[in-house]
Structure 1
Amino acid sequence: MKKLTILFSLLFISFGINAQESLVKNVAFTNIGPTVMSGRVVDIDVNPEKTTEFYVGYASGGVWYTNNNGASFAPIMDSAETINVGDIAVDWKNGTIWVGTGESNSSRSSYAGIGVLKSTDKGKTWTNTGLKDSQHIGRIIINKNNPNEVVVGVVGHLYTPNKERGIYKTSDGGKTWNNTLFINENTGVIDVSVSPTDSNVLFAATWERDRKAWNFTGDGEGSAIYKSENAGSTWVKISTKKSGFPVGDGVGRIGLATFDNNVVYALLDNQNMRPAKKKKSQVGLKKDDFKHFSKNEFLKLDKKDLNEYLKENRFPKKYSAKNVKELVEKGKIEPIDLAKYLEDANYILLNSEVIGAEVYKSEDGGKTWKKTHKDYLDDVYSSYGYYFGIMAVNTSNQNKIYIGGVPLLKSDDGGKTFSSMWRENVHADHQALWINPNLEGHVINGNDGGVNITYDDGENWYKNNSPAVGQFYAINVDNKKTYNVYGGLQDNGVWYGPSTYKASKNWNSTGEYPYKSLGGGDGMQVQIDSRDNNVVYSGSQFGYYFRTNTETGDYLSIHPTHELGDSPYRYNWQAPILLSPHNQDILYIGANKLLRSMDQGENFDVISEDLTTGGKKGNVPYGTLTTISESPFKFGFIYVGSDDGFVNVTENGGNSWTRISDNLPQGLWVSRVIASKFEENRVYVTLNGYRNDDFKTYVYVSEDKGKTWKSIVSNISDSPVNVIKEDAENENVLYVGTDNALYVSLNRGESWEQFSKNLPPVAVHDVVIQNEAKDLVVGTHGRSIYKANISGIQQFEKTKGKDVVIFNVKSMRHSSRWGKSWSKWMPLNEPEISIPYFVNASGNYTVEILAEDGTKLNGFKVEASKGYNYFVYDVSTSEKVVKNYFTKKKIKVEKAQTEKYYLPKGKYTVKIGEATSAFELK
């Protein structure tokens, strides 16, 4: 079996995609932001000798460097195989950077890594030093006395058990690793903290967790604290029953902060339940009352009290005390249904009365622990502490500690009392902290909204969000002449802005950031009414959408609920919506059933049965629809896919459905189903196995409405697929986005080209085409939004059988300011025209610029590679041509400040080989 695996790997290397041979390697992407809302930070590493110099690690956006206190940043990890980051550690004396890849948070969008990367040249090049099956890394500690000695805390696989977990140590700079602490295949290490006074003393927090698509358990007996007194070579468990630190099944994620060899703090996510509260005298009806009422008891309820309950809990207006009692009396519903109506698939997770965040302190090196506070730390973790767990202590003051959850809190008395550090300009959900021990109040904080810095201990903060690291789930575009791009982001809501966006600080003087917010939460899918681009459908997680008029501010809340007595709808985290291409009044939304509104979201009808496997017991909605596509050929011809692997189709508006996924791989997430716009019977499907730790690529096409399927993966490198898109004009052109790349096929999936110029190895979650501009717009989960002009790609058929093809050269408005400047302190205005062309063989070519009568005005020797190429022409000619051609024609052409002569207004021709294309200077 091992020989077969090796053989497969060799074949994969031989036939995989080589980016340097891609026909589209010169088709460039441009980042169009946004930046202001940023993305999730996972770690910050600051130069202790120069605190204005530091590195920031973003969960899925790579590592960025600043040496001016965050005024600007530069990405340093884009040349690596991945930009998914769990932790960073810097040997500042020698300039060595270590990155543990794969985010340690166990979120829905926590991407896996490829081990430990090391750079000795400040990020120009990277070496993979091992631990390639770790997938998610919690912490890296460099021994300050021996930089070749490094300890790594490995969290391990997110969705499946694995052995490469625990503590790994290298003593030779990463050449070899020893597993010095291993608990079991479900327990990894989430945090490691070293004593600032003794590099031999380390504390490690192990974490037992189990994530499935339908359930998350973030606690267990494996969660504990360990100690090493020999720089991580051996470990002893110190959180025992006798120690005073909680033990058992309810112990969740633990964060650590060490002051010295004796004083150490721990921030615990305690998932044990709180003691039942003493019942206070009750006023009015409560949800749980209906779980115990008999039919007769219910019918005796006071109508006024019952109506008040229905109103307070926002039941639809159609439900009143009178008709609800009638339904109970007739046996159509039971009293308990009035409680279940309020309990959707998230209820258990979000409403469990767990103890939550607790802070413990040891003053004897971890032998004994005491909780620092008497009361509950409410509203820090709630029931989802798995997403948090950072804390810090000021190493100059053992009583000054900080903890991060939804808010950021500080304590001046060793954790007895806490106060909030929230102020304007600071995002929630805190993930990274650096405390300056030499300057009281200087704190750098990383959160789900980027980087914040304070110098007065949180009284005032400023934001350092110049990197474009937005984590988009979905994007869309409108059809305005200068079109807008819309998108939903992880924990940053929905935003929209101009496709012409360029990164600039000018908005600080105008007060107008180009992108505008449309809502909060975790931003999800967006649909724009093609008849009126001001009407936008957008929303947040689990199917909570709005219809918003961006001009008037009017909005309608959209979240269809089940009929009283039925089972609650199950909405996916990224519940899909779709405006019908046949009628923009018709809105579809997917739960576990498909719902349709004929009146812009005012009212909904159920047009299907449950189109999933029926869900599974757990605390995460599962058995939900994930994708909807309606054929442009016929109204009511609809495909849907689910998170549990089903693809269903109806051709009669939902009157009947057929499952068409039985011959596809089973049990995978259907990330996209697309009804072709070119052939009525054609449909594309992509499947994603990430939530099974399955990183293979699944892309299929059917030419008979799903009766039979053909894999069109071809030479795409293994990676889970998020999206497939047909080109708007050329049926042979397809685009596929995976968890680390974008690909284009020019022959309908027979082979694929890597599409990556200026695009880092980031997860591509969504792509959309703006038809008029001929732009491909790409939504990434970690590096915001990119666009590329694809007009040449759409004309690929023109290149067949020809040595050279020149595509349309855009005309340009002539300016008398070319080659000039408003002052000597301003840059010169230099024009450029991009000339797109395709060659069928790599080699040297001559680009000629001709006048309308064929006279040669300029010529250039260029080296072109097979495929698409671009020549940037500065619209210049020579002094000799001016004298011998334009002067004789009595056309005045003067030398500019750039020492160049620019062509006057007129019509011109570009010639490469035998190919020509005209353009005009107007």
Structure 2
Amino acid sequence: MKVRLFRHRPGTAVTATLALLAVGALAASNSPNRGQQANAKESLTTTTPTGPMELPAEWMTSQRLSDGSRELSAAKYVKARGEANGIFGRTRGAYRDLANRKWNFFGPVDIGGRVVDIAIDPKVDDQLFIAAASGGVWKSRDAGMTYESVWPQDWVQSMGAVAMTSAGVLFAGTGEAQPGGGSITFGGDGVYRSVNRGRTWQRVGLKDSHAIARFAIDPSNERRIFAAAAGNLFKPGGERGVYLSENGGSSWRRVLTPPNSTTGATEVIIDPTNPKRMYAALWDHLREPHQRTYGGPGSSLWRSDDGGRTWQRMTNGLPTDADQGRWGLALAPGDPKRLYAYVGTAIGPFRGFYRSDDGGDNWTQTPVTANQASQSTFSWWFGKLWVDPKDADHVFLAGVNLGRSTDGAQSFSSVGGVHADQHVMRWDPKVPDRAYLGNDGGMYRSDVNGVAGGWAKATYEPYTQFYTVDVAQTDPSLKVAGAQDNGCNRGYNGPGGPWESIGCGDGLQVIIHPEQSNIVFGCSQYGSCYRSENSGGTPRQTIGTGQTTSQRRNWLTPLQFDPSDPNVMYYAGNIVNRSTDNGRTWTAISPDLTGGGPNDPSGYPWGTITTIAAAPADGNKLYVGTDDGRLWWTDDLGVNWNQVAPAELPGTWVTRVAVHPTNKDIAYATFSAFRSGSDRPHVMVTQDGGRNWTDIGRGLPDAPVNSVIPTSDGLLVVGTDVGVYISAWNGGEWAALGANLPNAAVMYLRYHEPTRQLTAATFGRGVYDVTVPRCPWASTRLPLRKPGVGVVAALASCRA
């Protein structure tokens, strides 16, 4: 098989011969649905890690670092959001119709998403506030059953902590302190304060903290507020450690300085009977492009007996070596001398559980086993403990499952009835035996003190983290979507209607047959997919290992229909597979189209295809992109594959390829990572079938572009980490589309041409729809810029 390589400039083709490989595929896991105790990540991480990083590697993080940079900082997002705001400002003045278009929330409201902290209103009955991991701050007025946003949708959405004083002053700490597994946790830009229970907010400091893990309010003087700042996951230094404000949050000073530049604070606790006594947990951690260092000499527990002015490390009975990961720490409110703590190893597995009965002077290891702790190999994802305010022996442990002990942490058993991966638990002091729980599946309430079978899930929580969405071509109100740690889901009941789980572990690619909406395909991580003729329900036919050919499969393995023939489908690991019978059987049609596999066996498993697109106008024409920055095309269904020379491309992760609806030679490719001042593009176009590519992303914010949609009348729409943008004349100038889309990353776009409905899947705020304007100057082959006509004038003629 000949594989021809083309550069931008004609006349520089070289030829290479590659053999088609047909070998066994990487095993993929198919894990239980949302709401069950098992977790998809656990089944993928049970093998012994080869280094500080183990599967699942951070898929979203890896693509954003695919330019070789070592840092994914909040500062990059702050800069990109500033650029996005600039585009929006120009859009409002230049062509107001685009900016004023309204995005409509479609749903879901009954799935939820990761919740990392809870603050119970001390004065208002049944009112609480929660921090959604990448969805802002939410308020419930009905004891945790329904939620409304109280956070500006155009601000940073990543959250780490919330707390409230007895007078109702609310604090929010931005940035998530636990690093992601397959997904991502975004950084923040400091501490915010609301004096009116979330109606308005003001930033009050620690803008370089990156992630706030916990607040503690001094009960004897509520103007004294402590914040545990975890720091930048990707970069040493910055504002790390325990900080104190003595003026209600208006200013802050560090009172516990970590022992090194990669250690931050993840816990701060005040003894309610003796506020001068305090405790803190520090965590030494750093995320590099191909390595996690999630433990080290800085991981430790500390105590202060003078209100936080001085601190001493607690060591008597605790480990003192460097193989310490993230610590969980809790105090029993009913017996403040009783402390509980647990820690993992530096590479992730549970290490040990400890108890003190004398305020931390002495510690004893309890016989809690790794199986009871339910930490899998990623104890860094949890690091939390909670003690019943009325019973010092009644302890709850964060893990994949919720652990519960009634014997003072001598043993733990699993509490059923809640979603996997626990992050926060709080008791309502006004209602006996009422507790709230936040996990990867959202919010739960127990009125029987947290016992098994006593948890009720919230009914309205619109902060789901989605990877993908698809829209039925027969009816755009029918949608399916893949959610982080919440499976594949079907929304066939219209806007605001209930959604149903349709399998998968983490929900990744989910697609609907173009002509028969009852035929649905759903995929878990690493290409473990199914085919269903019951709208995603059972029975399901397996697609993946054993049915397709590839040695490596991406976390989000592409699975797509051929728009010219709905019975033809494509599935790609590192090799493209084709089906001509609607996904029942598969044949490999390419060699390995990547660089040949992982460049670091302990890092992200590089060397996979990330996107594939067939030309609607010609089913023989395919375009393919990879995680190692390669672009390919074939004009003859894979008999010959042609590669764009890597030196002529950005070299970063190809997030999406899309082909013009009527012209097979016009295609678009989008790229992740940040330009960071370089001239690397985020969006490129070819108008000659793949031979030459031009950068058309100038003017977009410097942030990853995750999706691209070309319309038949010449518009181009892209979804980015910081919004959705539209262009005329194949790019070059860009306008913001709509003003009210929350500032969560837009991971996937789907377009329904007959109704001009554009659907966006956001990572933290659910699914939204908007109507794309109609333009009268339809063309099958557009110039890069129509001479004498700017984008403002062109788009001015576009109407609904």
1:27 counterpart (101, 124, 129): 101
Q: Distance in 2 between matches of 1:373 and 1:461?
A: 28
Which segment drifts farther, 144-153 or 534-543?
Answer: 144-153
For residues 142 and 644 of structure 1, do their structure 2 counterparts lie closer, same or farther at Cα, with a shift above 3 Å needed? farther
2:644 alignment partner in structure 1: 660
Residue type at the aligned position of 1:359: F
C-alpha distance in 1 between matches for 2:254 and 2:127: 33
Corresponding residue for 2:782?
none
Instruction: Give the counterpart of 2:403 among 403, 409, 412.
Output: 409
- CA distance in structure 2 between the aligned counterparts of 1:682 and 1:574, rounded to whole angstroms: 25
Q: Deviations over 1:549-572 (max 9, x none)?
A: 116843211113599xx9x72222
Alignment match, 2:342: 267
Matches within 5 A, 1:830-909: none
The answer for the alignment partner of 1:612 in structure 2 is 595
Q: Percent identity between the aligned chains?
A: 29
Letter in 1 for 2:401: P
Q: 2:670 aligns with which of 665, 671, 686?
A: 686
Partner of 2:130: 56
Partner of 2:502: 518
Look up the match of 2:744.
Answer: 762
Compare 699-708 and 136-145 and name the one that shifted more.
Answer: 699-708
1:456-513 deviation line (CA, Å, top 9, x unaligned): 132422121302111110000112246411111111111112373235xxxxxxxxxx
Q: Does 1:384 align with 2:370?
A: no
In the alignment, which residue of structure 1 is the partner of 2:719?
737
- In structure 2, the residue matched to 1:244 is 317
Code of the residue aligned with 1:124 in structure 2: it is R
2:258 is matched with 182
How far residue 531 of structure 1 moved from its aligned partner, in angstroms, is 3.5
Q: Is the 8 A contact 2:507 2:524 kept in 1?
A: yes
The residue matched to 1:635 in structure 2 has which SS? Answer: strand
- Supply the distance in 2 between the matched residues of 1:422 and 1:149 (Cα, whole angstroms): 38
Kept in 1, the 8 Å contact 2:493–2:499? The answer is no
Q: Does 1:164 align with 2:233?
A: no
Verify: 1:201 aligned to 2:252, yes or no: no
Residue 433 in structure 1 maps to residue 425 in structure 2: yes
* TM-score, length-scaled by structure 2: 0.80
**Aligned-partner SS, 1:17:** helix
1:193-244 deviations in Å (ceiling 9; x for gaps): 2222233333222222333455434333322212233443443322x4xx22
Distance 2:426 2:679 in 1: 35
Equivalent residue in structure 2 for 1:556, among 541, 547, 551? 541
Q: Aligned pair 1:453/2:445, yes or no?
A: yes
Change (3 A) 1:571 1:43: same
Distance 1:712 1:70, change over 3 A: same
CA contact (8 A) 1:24 1:867 kept: no
Q: Distance in 2 between matches of 1:197 and 1:581?
A: 67
Partner of 2:610: 626
Q: Deviations over 1:76-113 (max 9, x none)?
A: 003451221111122241x3222111212211221222
Within-5 A mapping of 1:177-576:
177-180=252-255, 181-212=257-288, 214-238=290-314, 240=315, 243-259=316-332, 262-270=337-345, 356=350, 358-378=352-372, 380-423=374-417, 426-436=418-428, 441-457=433-449, 458=451, 459-481=453-475, 483-498=477-492, 500-502=494-496, 514-550=498-534, 553-561=538-546, 569-576=551-558
1:207 touches 1:219 (CA, 8 Å); kept in 2?
A: yes
The RMSD of aligned alpha carbons is 3.4
Q: Please name the residue that 2:774 is paired with.
A: 794
Contact 1:736-1:744 within 8 A present in 2 as well: yes
Q: Is the 8 A contact 1:645 1:670 kept in 2?
A: yes
Alpha carbons of structure 1 residues 433 and 569: separation in structure 2 relative to 1, 3 Å: same
The one of 570, 585, 599 equivalent to 2:567 is: 585
Change (3 A) 1:183 1:454: same
Could you tell which deviates more after superposition, 487-496 or 170-179? 170-179
For the residues of structure 2 that align with 1:764 and 1:693, how far apart are their CA atoms? Answer: 23
* CA 437–268 in structure 1, closer or farther in 2 if over 3 Å, else same: farther
Query: Who is 2:766 aligned against?
Result: 784
- Give me the whole-angstrom Cα distance separating, in 2, the residues matched to 1:14 and 1:255: 39
The residue that corresponds to 2:161 in the other structure is 87
**Pairwise CA distance, 1:361:** 1.2
Which amino acid in the other structure matches residue 491 of structure 1? D
**Whole-angstrom distance in 2 between the partners of 1:665 and 1:159:** 26
Unaligned runs of 5+ in 2: 1-75, 779-791
2:392 aligns to what SS in structure 1?
A: strand
Distance 2:797 2:196 in 1: 33
1:40 Cα shift?
A: 0.8
How many Å separate the matches in 2 of 1:263 and 1:479? 60
Taking structure 1 as the reference length, what is the TM-score of the superposition?
0.70
- Higher normalized contact order (CA 8 Å, seq sep 6+, divided by chain length): 2
Q: Distance in 1 between matches of 2:198 and 2:162?
A: 12
Give the superposition deviation at 1:435: 2.3
Q: Could you list the per-position Cα deviations for residues 627-679 of structure 1 after superposition, in whole angstroms to 9, with x for gaps in the alignment?
A: 22222233343222223333333333334434426346755332222233344
Letter in 1 for 2:114: R
Among 663, 666, 669, the residue aligned to 2:653 = 669
1:13 & 1:408 partners in 2: Cα distance?
40
1:414, 1:222 → 2: CA distance? 28
Write the letter of the residue equivalent to 1:254: W
Once residues 664 and 118 of structure 1 are traced to their aligned partners in structure 2, the CA distance between those partners, rounded to angstroms, is 48
| 2:213 maps to amino acid | G
2:481 alignment partner, SS class: strand
Aligned counterparts of 1:661 and 1:737: Cα–Cα separation in 2:
26
- Three-state SS of the structure 1 residue aligned to 2:719 is strand
Distance in 2, matches of 1:81 and 1:155, equals 20
State whether residues 109 and 461 of structure 2, in contact with CA within 8 Å, keep that contact through their aligned partners in structure 1.
Answer: yes
How many residues are matched? 696
Choose from 174, 179, 199 the match for 1:101: 174
The DSSP-based 3-state class of the residue aligned with 2:670 is strand
Secondary structure of the corresponding residue to residue 281 of structure 2? strand
1:578-635 alpha-carbon deviations (Å, 9 max, x no partner): 1222333333222233333344242342512241363122154333222222222333
User: How far apart, in 1, do the equivalents of 2:717 and 2:766 lie?
Assistant: 18
Structure 1: gaps spanning 5 or more residues: 273-353, 504-513, 799-839, 842-865, 871-922
Q: Compare 407-416 and 373-382 and name the one that shifted more.
A: 373-382
- Letter in structure 2 aligned against 1:740: V
Contact map agreement 1:159 1:693 (CA 8 A) in 2: no
Q: Is the 8 A contact 2:296 2:324 kept in 1?
A: yes
Q: Distance in 2 between matches of 1:371 and 1:430?
A: 23
- State the distance in 2 between where 1:200 and 1:79 align: 38
Report the Cα distance in structure 2 between the residues aligned to 1:499 and 1:213, rounded to whole angstroms: 42
CA contact (8 A) 2:109 2:496 kept: no
2:52 corresponds in structure 1 to: none
Task: Give the Cα–Cα distance (whole angstroms) in 1 for the partners of residues 242 and 679 of structure 2.
Answer: 25
Asked if 2 retains the 8 angstrom alpha-carbon contact of 1:32 and 1:499, the reply is no
**How far apart are the structure 2 equivalents of 1:631 and 1:556?**
27
